[in-house]
Amino acid sequence: MFALPFSTHARTQTCFVVSIHSGDTVTARCGDAASANAWRLVRLQGIEAPKPGQPFADQARQKMHDMVRLKPADVDCDDPTSHARERICRVMVTPDSAPNGPRTLDAGLALLTVGLARWQPAQAQRLSPQERGQYEFAEEEARAKRAGLWKDSRPARP
């Protein structure tokens, strides 16, 4: 385990994503499954995907499923001492294109890139300035390409 340089409270854990709730929320098991503290409701930092019932919600959930379900993930969460029901985290997995490689695919950034989430700077205080720029640029590119929820002239806010 190690702390990332841009946060004094962050901690990266290797977890296993067991279920997908929506395009931006998953359940992950981090550590011993018998421990009540091992199970985490994880909300991806810096993004907001459409809510169930909204346009593109099913596509966002499916994309998240395809990227992370039943895979080991590096989960970098907010204050590790928090007992909050929902944790705000960055989730990194191994991309399907390099199954034996390192966990370099940022699930939140991937959803932004294909237009299945909105960039939420207020929820991304722990991202470095470079990462914040990547997230913002990914949304701008998706808008320009009219990808995903940006196909609608007035996409619903999650």
Query: Can you give the pLDDT of all 158 residues of the chain as single tens digits?
Result: 323 333 444 578 899 999 999 999 999 998 877 776 788 899 999 999 999 999 999 999 999 999 999 999 999 987 655 656 688 899 999 999 998 999 999 999 999 999 999 999 988 877 889 999 999 999 999 999 999 999 988 888 87
Q: Is 146 left (phi over 0), alpha (psi -120 to 50) or beta?
A: left
Largest CA distance in the chain: 48
Q: Return d(Cα 76, Cα 57) in angstroms, integer.
A: 24
Q: Return d(Cα 48, Cα 67) in angstroms, integer.
A: 17
CA dihedral (147, 148, 153, 157) positive or negative: negative
Strand 86-93 to 72-77 pairing: antiparallel
CA atoms within 13 A of residue 14's CA, in its CB half-sphere:
6
| Main-chain phi, psi angles of 69, to 5 degrees | -65, 135
CA dihedral (95, 101, 103, 106) positive or negative: negative
CATH topology of domain 11-150: OB fold (Dihydrolipoamide Acetyltransferase, E2P) (2.40.50)
DSSP state of 50: P
Residue type, 103: R
Per-domain boundaries in the chain = 11-150
Q: Return d(Cα 22, Cα 6) in angstroms, integer.
A: 28
